[in-house]
Amino acid sequence: MSRNDFDDFTKDILELAIKLDKGKEVKKLMGKEGTKLKKQTKALAKIRVKKQTGKYQKSISRGKVFKSTKTDDMVVRVYNKIPKGNEEEMKKEAIKYNAIEYGRVIKGKDGIEKGFLSGKHILKDAKSNFKDEYYSDVEDFIDDMLDNHNL
């Protein structure tokens, strides 16, 4: 079995696990995996972001586990949330967080471009670093489901 893609048997077992007990076990697994990814993302942000005020690390959060409408899979997101405030303040924070992630053009006071600040790509790199751990955790979950639920 390839590490990057599950084979048909594994997909069938996961579908059975989702149907079993309304997917409570799968939701629990996905919640734990989302929390692990959030911790790894925050650790990577702490290393890569120079200005350590704590706002960027606090903005990284895990969403709820839900069933995707496009693929019928259980999904959890890890993302940057923008702090609440007035509309103008929210726009500034969104621009700042997107600049950290994706980069921005550096302009002087006179409006002339002076260069480009490349992004840190924290979310993308944390996701790619987490894939192997996720696949091994899912394989352990499948083994546990086979042992405990006689699938």
3-state secondary structure of 25: helix
Cα separation, 149 vs 139, whole angstroms: 15
- 49: which 2 tokens? 């972001």
pTM: 0.79
Domain limits, the chain: 8-149
> Each residue of 109-128: pLDDT tens digit?
898 988 888 888 898 999 99
Contact indicator for 17, 23 with CB cutoff of 8 Å: yes
Say what the pLDDT of residue 3 is.
41
Say what the pLDDT of residue 1 is.
40
Separation of first and last alpha carbons in the chain: 19
pLDDT, average across residues 76-101: 79
> Each residue of 51-78: pLDDT tens digit?
877 788 888 999 999 988 888 788 899 9
Say what the pLDDT of residue 86 is.
65
User: Quick one: three-class SS letters along 35-90?
Assistant: HHHHHHHHHHHHHHCCCCCCHHHHHEEECCCEECCCCCCEECCEEECCCCCCHHHH
| Of 126, 128, 38, residue with least CA distance to 76 | 38
> Each residue of 1-44: pLDDT tens digit?
444 456 777 777 777 777 777 778 888 999 999 999 999 999 99
